[in-house]
Structure 1
Amino acid sequence: MAYPLEGRLRPAHELGAASVSALGAALVLSSPGLFLVSPPWHLALAGLLLGHAAWRGAAGLSTLRYSANLRRRRRYELHSADIPWSADRLFLGRGFRWDQRHTQRLFEARLPANQPLLHGRGFAAALAAFVPAEEGTGSVGGDPAIHGVEPAETEIWMDLEDRVGHTLVLGTTRVGKTRLAELLIAQDIRRGEVVIVFDPKGDVDLLRRVFAEAERAGRGGEFFMFHLGHPDISARYNPVGSFSRITEVATRIAGQLPSEGQSAAFKEFVWRFVNVMARALVALGRKPDYQEINRYASDVEPLLIDYFEYWLDREPAAAGWREELRSLAIDKRNLDKGLQSRGARAVSLVEYARRKKLYDPIAHALASTLNYEKSHFDKLVASLLPLMEKLTTGRTASLLSPELDDSSDWRPVFDWTSVIHLGGIVYVGLDALSDYEVAAAVGNSMFADLTSVAGSLYKFGAGRGLPGEVTPRRIAIHADEFNELIGDEFIPLLNKAGGAGFQVTAYTQTWSDVEARIGSPAKAGQIAGNFNTLIMLRVKELATAELLTSQLPEVHVVSTVVSSSVSDTNDPVDFADFASRNEDRIAPEAVRMLEPTDLVQLPKGEAFALIHGGQLYKIRMPLPSASSDPLMPTSLAAIGETLHARLDGPWNQPEDTSEPEGRRVV
């Protein structure tokens, strides 16, 4: 028979019946004559009584364990080598699927009438000592009853096919968000995936974890560290050096400029100007970088001279142009006002091409920039110059504008196409606490570059330009402090990169941070719609909690209502003077499966997850322990020394075909 109320949070009345049955069995065995039972039938009676004692005792202990479980504070840790992993699934932790029963149990646990049972002492409290040693107790805070409503937990795994729908992790500070990232990153590395970790703050612990997991998986030679805060040991990267279309260079640079109000017109002008410079540099066989753009943004004439000479040398109609240029007579008073303030060499080249009626699209575009009076032109590009100065000042300049022919610089240079084709692990530390604008510019340029690579993979497949057939690789992107990185460049990566094997896991504190960064609730909603999987730890903002709870259905919980009534009678014939009635009524009530306040009270290391097509799971995540890990580097300097020792480059290391450490689950 199914009862409408489980009644699990109550005194263990079964223990009294079990005690009486056990005492009766002892008396039957010691004095069978008292019960008028002759041997050997007394053994059968004693066995029946002991069986009843065991049955009712087990039920009573289960009731006590349930009460103890509701107040047991858990801390779940795993040594790095013990983290389970699978080639087909992603391990999230221990837990259970949440349904109406758990909403009912949590409702009952919070009733005032049940508080004495929930916070009792004695044998029920002593049962908490039987928790496995790996869980123990710790300063996890929160309400332990949220997870305690289900004593039987199992390992929770997520299908890897769901990850290309992207994953959003929300949680306030110091509740295990970065440690969850370490858990997921460790599994991605062991599966042999391309792993890219974006960390705006530059968390040294996260960097050490990524490095250690790469070593543990035998992939230490595939590890790159790009860190704006530590340029001396950082790999180098040109944010505008790789592109599918030349216009991407201008988009990545101009995209960092303000576009509100009157700034929009200046931004469009800057885009055109940078695009002209990029086209000229590529035509000259020079790779665009921040140093080159900054140099010619301040003075475009040297670039114009280089390109005009390059073009005229190859233009059949301009044969002998150098001799003709020497005899070219120019009266600056007859020139446009903009040309009058320019250098003689640049003006002569432009005038020569005009008089000879020669045309080249890049040369024409460069010449048009000279038509602006120099002081006026400087005002038009004024918003570009401060940004370029920030990106080309100090030691950061050598990171973002690498000199490939400098044999004395041991730091490797990477690009996303090579990383993906050859299977790399990249940690990107943007040092946003020191310089937020530079971090945002570099991060957004990297996302734009990755989106371009994703487009190439989607159109042409893996291994374009490489001999033989190349197996497509999964690309796992982990973006910590997602709100610091989000921009217009990130949206296409979420929208369209799934088809190219990109799987993004984004971590942030509140959804309001994303809305504030984007500046548009509609765009923020567009971004949220691209995350098919949602993992939410403890949050402090109700609006963020409702991002999960609003997707859940309503369920019915039942409660008992005590009703008592008395009625008297004045009928002289009736023997009874009054009638009384006492009853317990069951009252159903429709509530949300989870309330936002439940997410505010989650203990550290615990979360709710919407996975497998919107199914709700309650999980406890293992917090990776760095203790006794021989592969964990002691400091950032130790990582730098290891990277420096690999002078032959990460791609020249022999491939390690051994099985990675850890408990692999098939």
Structure 2
Amino acid sequence: MAEHVLESKLRPAVELYSAALCAGAATLCLNSPWAVALSPEIGLGAAVGYGLFGLLRLHQAWQVLRYRRHIRRLPRYALTSRQIPISQQRLFIGRGFRWTRLHTQRLVEAQDPAVACYIEQPWLQRAARRLERRLEHSLPPLRWLPRLTAWDSSFNPLRPLPPVGGSPLLHGVEPDEVEASLPLNERVGHTLVLGTTRVGKTRLAEVYITQDIHRGEVCIVFDPKGDADLLKRMYVEARRSGREQEFYVFHLGWPEISCRYNAVGRFGRVSEVASRIAGQLSGEGNSAAFREFAWRFVNIIARALIELGQRPDYLLIQRHVVNIDALFIEYAQHFFARHDPRAWELIVQLEGKLNEKNIPRHMQGREKRVVALEQYLSAKRVYDPVLDGLRSAVRYDRTYFDKIVASLLPLLEKLTTGKTAQLLAPDYTDLSDPRPIFDWLQIIRKRGIVYVGLDALSDAEVAAAVGNSMFADLVSVAGHIYKHGVDHGLPQSAQSARQVPINLHADEFNELMGDEFIPLINKGGGAGIQVTAYTQTLSDIEARLGNRAKAGQVIGNFNTLQMLRVRETATAELLTQQLPKVNVLTRTLVSGATDTADPQASTDFTSSSQDRVSATSVPLIEPAHIVSLPKGQAFSFQEGGQLWKVRMPLPRPAPDDAMPANLQELARHMRARYNDNAGQWWRASGGGPTEDFDPERGLNSGMPADAKQE
């Protein structure tokens, strides 16, 4: 197969004819050299020469046949979690190849109608699929035949294609796959994974999370919808790596077994408490003024709680927003006990003289002790910044005060209703509660693994509020780490100069994202935060933020872009518009005939036939190619301009997948409530589920019902 300007592999393997002829000639020269007038010695040499040339032609024919086979069906690629390679230098993605001009050229050639016979499935395959549809509801003897033709085994010549859809051409244009990976030092630039629903985003997340856990790094996973297989995978990998004691589950839908977390309990500056709460309120139009009022009152309450020696949480803040009089009285007692012990006697005397007639109009509706405190402070002119702040709050008319904090109360209600309050406002003094309490700095210091299930399908509003609070807390922790390091405040012997990689995986991150997310990806890299965000389309981000400029700001902070199948052209163009154009060669057959004008000439006409090769500039890939990607395949745009075509491994369950009884129960309910079998596209091929790729069987086979709770 000589080298030509145009590579052509979608054609008959004509090299087989040469190989067969060489085999015959070698046999003849070896067994009957006299038939071709050769001596035995020379015949042996000729046989060797024919044999070597025949092997060369056979290898060339095998390349053509292998290319044609890959165009129609890719070899199955599945790994157990134990088989996923773990490296301290690179992040394993799957198998694939770097997309170049050659692959664009092959893709253009494969779309030629003249080679359609090599692209389409053989007629026997098509006939078997028609037979399966016709005999689906037939009587039992005939019903076995479709099961036989749909048998998913390499021994079945009529084996159906895997149910991944899309165009097999996109990966079949390169039969020589290699291991596709991303340098770990590129992850700090953050990674954005885009793909429509049920095309493999969560499976890709499992591959990444498995490696993060086995590398011993911090791994934090936000899962708004609740994926039982993802939770199971995280626990199993934590146990296999010997890190099950560092595994935490926070789940709003199952507070009975969830860890507890106070989103406003840790801060560098007390003003961060107000910023994390008021930052979730709308700042558009007239709402901006109400958000500023809410920030001020929350900040006043937080400062008072700190002075009283109480840790702020959502319940305390809601209690004092609704009734700030009680906090004003409590703080005044604390203040006067230290600075003026006799003041309280005068305040009690003033309180006894008050009645409805001598209470100022703006103080009506307040407790008499609050009015007495206000009168005493007006007379004595005591200065204390916290006391003055509380005093300014109670001096507002009660009705007016309720109006300006009206936007704050719904948010606090979302975070403090029902059992959610037990998780977000933990009682640190309740020693009978076995559920642990964690904060992000603690998790980072001990290299923890955290699964955050936000139960967004049940209550999207609460899920978004909690997710935003956690992101705001992480931003604060990132600022602390950036300034002081992870081990700030620990003894010198316990400190280390090595930066801790903090892997943050945000599935469906458009549901969690707010203004808090932007500084996290914009400046979090300096603290070691490596964000991998998963969502469907660009429109999801823009709709969540409500601003195209902010959406562009978010997208601009992701250095690595991995795109599975998408349905929105604008999302596909995010990748294709960053790629260069390349020149592909096209072949044009030109033929013609010309009559001879001279009747005396010896020729009546002349004819010509030309095979022209021309170069045409085309995009490296087009949006239509991304729209037609099969499930489990993606384009990865990484390392400053390299485009890789990859496919992720299908999951193969291992026999030792075991979880504690409480997590088994949680995973079972999550699968029943959230997941549908249609999403597990790798489980079935053709007629039904296969044993090798059934996550359900892999999950249940290794989990005894009486597993001891850890």
> In 1, are the aligned partners of 2:254 and 2:666 still within 8 Å (CA)?
no
> In 1, are the aligned partners of 2:585 and 2:614 still within 8 Å (CA)?
yes
Q: Which residue of 2 aligns with 1:322?
A: 344
Q: Which residue of 1 aligns with 2:432?
A: 408
How far 1:633 sits from its partner (Å)? Answer: 6.0
Q: Which residue of 1 aligns with 2:392?
A: 368
Equivalent of 1:529 in 556, 569, 580: 556
Q: C-alpha distance in 2, partners of 1:375/1:221? A: 51
Q: C-alpha distance in 1, partners of 2:657/2:413? A: 43
**Identical pairs, percent:** 53
Q: C-alpha distance in 1, partners of 2:8/2:196? A: 35
> In 2, are the aligned partners of 1:14 and 1:57 still within 8 Å (CA)?
yes
State the superposition RMSD in angstroms.
2.4
Q: In the superposition, relative to structure 1, how do residues 458 and 166 fare at CA in structure 2: closer, same or farther (>3 Å)?
A: same
Q: Which residue of 2 aligns with 1:27?
A: 28
Q: C-alpha distance in 2, partners of 1:481/1:391? A: 21
Q: C-alpha distance in 1, partners of 2:55/2:483? A: 67
Deviates more, 1:343-352 or 1:175-184: 343-352
> In 2, are the aligned partners of 1:68 and 1:118 still within 8 Å (CA)?
no
SS at match of 1:630: coil
The answer to whether the aligner puts 1:540 opposite 2:567 as a matched pair is yes
Q: In the superposition, relative to structure 1, how do residues 496 and 187 fare at CA in structure 2: closer, same or farther (>3 Å)?
A: same
Q: In the superposition, relative to structure 1, how do residues 307 and 537 fare at CA in structure 2: closer, same or farther (>3 Å)?
A: same
SS at match of 1:248: helix
> In 2, are the aligned partners of 1:337 and 1:371 still within 8 Å (CA)?
no
> In 1, are the aligned partners of 2:290 and 2:404 still within 8 Å (CA)?
yes
The residue correspondences of 1:142-161 to structure 2 (distance < 5 A) are: 142-161=166-185
How far 1:324 sits from its partner (Å)? Answer: 2.0
SS at match of 1:382: coil
How far 1:136 sits from its partner (Å)? Answer: 11
Q: C-alpha distance in 1, partners of 2:25/2:190? A: 62
How far 1:33 sits from its partner (Å)? Answer: 2.6
> In 1, are the aligned partners of 2:561 and 2:637 still within 8 Å (CA)?
yes
SS at match of 1:40: helix
Q: Which residue of 2 aligns with 1:654?
A: none
Q: C-alpha distance in 1, partners of 2:601/2:621? A: 54
Q: Which residue of 2 aligns with 1:485?
A: 512
Equivalent of 2:253 in 214, 219, 229: 229
SS at match of 1:498: helix
Q: Over residues 89-127 of structure 1, what are the superposed CA-to-partner deviations in whole Å (9 max), with x where a residue is unaligned? A: 1111111111100010111111111111223659999xx
What letter corresponds to residue 347 of structure 2 in structure 1? Answer: L
What letter corresponds to residue 10 of structure 2 in structure 1? Answer: L
Q: Which residue of 2 aligns with 1:52?
A: 53
Q: C-alpha distance in 2, partners of 1:326/1:266? A: 35
What letter corresponds to residue 79 of structure 2 in structure 1? Answer: L
SS at match of 1:205: helix
Deviates more, 1:430-439 or 1:369-378: 369-378
SS at match of 2:4: coil
With the length of structure 2 as denominator, give the TM-score of the two structures.
Answer: 0.86
How far 1:241 sits from its partner (Å)? Answer: 0.9
> In 2, are the aligned partners of 1:176 and 1:623 still within 8 Å (CA)?
no
The answer to whether the aligner puts 1:271 opposite 2:272 as a matched pair is no
> In 1, are the aligned partners of 2:318 and 2:409 still within 8 Å (CA)?
yes
Q: Over residues 129-157 of structure 1, what are the superposed CA-to-partner deviations in whole Å (9 max), with x where a residue is unaligned? A: 989xxx99622221111111111111112
Q: Over residues 435-469 of structure 1, what are the superposed CA-to-partner deviations in whole Å (9 max), with x where a residue is unaligned? A: 11111111000000000000001011120100122
Equivalent of 2:270 in 240, 243, 246: 246
Q: Which residue of 1 aligns with 2:9?
A: 8
Q: In the superposition, relative to structure 1, how do residues 420 and 264 fare at CA in structure 2: closer, same or farther (>3 Å)?
A: same
Q: Over residues 257-299 of structure 1, what are the superposed CA-to-partner deviations in whole Å (9 max), with x where a residue is unaligned? A: 2222222222211111111111111111101111101111111
How far 1:412 sits from its partner (Å)? Answer: 0.2
Equivalent of 2:502 in 458, 475, 495: 475
Q: In the superposition, relative to structure 1, how do residues 632 and 54 fare at CA in structure 2: closer, same or farther (>3 Å)?
A: farther
> In 2, are the aligned partners of 1:336 and 1:371 still within 8 Å (CA)?
no
> In 1, are the aligned partners of 2:660 and 2:708 still within 8 Å (CA)?
no
Q: C-alpha distance in 2, partners of 1:94/1:14? A: 30
Q: Over residues 633-655 of structure 1, what are the superposed CA-to-partner deviations in whole Å (9 max), with x where a residue is unaligned? A: 68734579999955xxxxxxxxx
Q: C-alpha distance in 2, partners of 1:432/1:503? A: 24
> In 1, are the aligned partners of 2:510 and 2:540 still within 8 Å (CA)?
yes
How far 1:534 sits from its partner (Å)? Answer: 0.7
> In 1, are the aligned partners of 2:441 and 2:486 still within 8 Å (CA)?
no
Q: Which residue of 2 aligns with 1:106?
A: 107
How far 1:330 sits from its partner (Å)? Answer: 5.0
Q: Which residue of 1 aligns with 2:521?
A: 494
What letter corresponds to residue 37 of structure 1 in structure 2? Answer: L
> In 1, are the aligned partners of 2:25 and 2:47 still within 8 Å (CA)?
yes
Equivalent of 2:584 in 551, 557, 561: 557
> In 1, are the aligned partners of 2:125 and 2:160 still within 8 Å (CA)?
no
Q: In the superposition, relative to structure 1, how do residues 638 and 214 fare at CA in structure 2: closer, same or farther (>3 Å)?
A: farther
Equivalent of 1:255 in 251, 274, 279: 279
How far 1:481 sits from its partner (Å)? Answer: 0.5
Q: In the superposition, relative to structure 1, how do residues 363 and 90 fare at CA in structure 2: closer, same or farther (>3 Å)?
A: same
Q: Which residue of 1 aligns with 2:447?
A: 423
> In 2, are the aligned partners of 1:233 and 1:644 still within 8 Å (CA)?
no
Unaligned runs of 5+ in 2: 127-151, 668-704
Equivalent of 1:592 in 613, 619, 631: 619
The residue correspondences of 1:75-474 to structure 2 (distance < 5 A) are: 75-119=76-120, 121=122, 138-315=162-339, 318-328=340-350, 329=353, 333=357, 336-468=360-492, 469-470=495-496, 471-474=498-501
SS at match of 2:588: strand
How far 1:19 sits from its partner (Å)? Answer: 1.4
Q: In the superposition, relative to structure 1, how do residues 612 and 639 fare at CA in structure 2: closer, same or farther (>3 Å)?
A: same
How far 1:322 sits from its partner (Å)? Answer: 1.8
Q: Which residue of 2 aligns with 1:653?
A: none
SS at match of 1:158: strand
Deviates more, 1:323-332 or 1:467-476: 323-332
How far 1:473 sits from its partner (Å)? Answer: 1.1
Q: C-alpha distance in 2, partners of 1:642/1:426? A: 25
Q: In the superposition, relative to structure 1, how do residues 445 and 341 fare at CA in structure 2: closer, same or farther (>3 Å)?
A: same
> In 2, are the aligned partners of 1:75 and 1:136 still within 8 Å (CA)?
no
RCO higher in structure (CA 8 A, sep ≥6): 1
> In 2, are the aligned partners of 1:65 and 1:124 still within 8 Å (CA)?
no
SS at match of 1:327: helix
With the length of structure 1 as denominator, give the TM-score of the two structures.
Answer: 0.92
Q: Over residues 337-361 of structure 1, what are the superposed CA-to-partner deviations in whole Å (9 max), with x where a residue is unaligned? A: 2212210111111221111011111
SS at match of 1:579: strand
> In 2, are the aligned partners of 1:239 and 1:400 still within 8 Å (CA)?
yes
Q: In the superposition, relative to structure 1, how do residues 536 and 643 fare at CA in structure 2: closer, same or farther (>3 Å)?
A: farther
SS at match of 2:437: coil
Q: C-alpha distance in 2, partners of 1:530/1:369? A: 41
Q: Which residue of 2 aligns with 1:625?
A: 652
How far 1:333 sits from its partner (Å)? Answer: 4.7
Q: Over residues 371-391 of structure 1, what are the superposed CA-to-partner deviations in whole Å (9 max), with x where a residue is unaligned? A: 222122212212222222221
Deviates more, 1:580-589 or 1:370-379: 370-379
